Amino acid sequence: MRFMIIVPGNAETEAGAMPSEQQLADMTAYNEELLAAGVLVTGEGLHPTSRGARLHYTHDGSVTVTDGPFAEAKEIVAGFTIIDVSSKEEAIEWLKKWPRSTADDFTLELRQLFDAADFGEALTPELQEREARMREQAARAAAQG
């Protein structure tokens, strides 16, 4: 089961504040532990919304692009980690080990990613094959850098 750990943003991350050396060291150690356990898939920090854009699609086919920042957003994502574990309970145990080198209180969100089996018959064998081919191509492209 794959899970995404969602790291919320705050005023500091939206202002572009970078983590301290201690925070980076603690997160690196945590990621090394995830990797050694064979559960780390990927993880990344995100730039502030001021460097992003939102696209709104309408039923008539038009697309509106709005550049950030998104001050009206109630919840902003500052980063994420994806882990592959055997259960939600195991994922929660990993989250309990999350580094706490910041003095602030914080909340992490845990969300399970869909697997092919979750889509049932709607994900036909042909679509499954196309999805597998696409993932292989993306992995090769990522490996080539």
Read off φ and ψ for residue 127, nearest 5 degrees: -65, -35
- pLDDT, mean of residues 24-45: 96
Phi and psi at residue 24, to the nearest 5°:
-65, -40
What mean pLDDT comes out for the span 124-130? 94
What percentage of the chain carries pLDDT values higher than 90?
81
Q: Hey, what's the torsion of the CAs at 122, 109, 13, 104, to 10 degrees? A: 180
Residue 71 has pLDDT above 80, yes or no: no
Q: What mean pLDDT is reported for the chain?
A: 92
Q: What is the spatial distance between Cα 33 and Cα 94, in angstroms, rounded to a whole number?
A: 10
Average pLDDT over residues 73-84: 89
Residue 98 neighbours by CB distance under 10 Å: 14
pLDDT for the residue numbered 105: 85
Residue type, 132: A
- What confidence score (pLDDT) does residue 104 get? 77
When pLDDT is cut at 50, 70 and 90, the band that residue 5 belongs to is very high
Give the dihedral sign, CA 110/115/119/122.
Answer: positive
Look at residues 84, 26, 73, 19 and name the one whose alpha carbon lies nearest to residue 46: 19
- Which residue type occupies 10? N
Candidate ranges 7-16, 84-93, 103-112; pick with highest mean pLDDT: 84-93
Show the tokens assigned to 114. 């869909």
The per-residue pLDDT for 72 is 67
Q: Which residues contact 140 (CB under 8 A, 6 or more apart)?
A: none
- The domain 2-113: what is its CATH number? 3.30.70.1060
Please tell me the predicted confidence (pLDDT) of residue 116.
Answer: 87
With a cut of 70, say whether residue 73 has pLDDT above it: no
- Break the chain into its structural domains and give their ranges: 2-113, 116-145
Give residue-wise pLDDT tens across range 109-122.
999 999 988 999 99
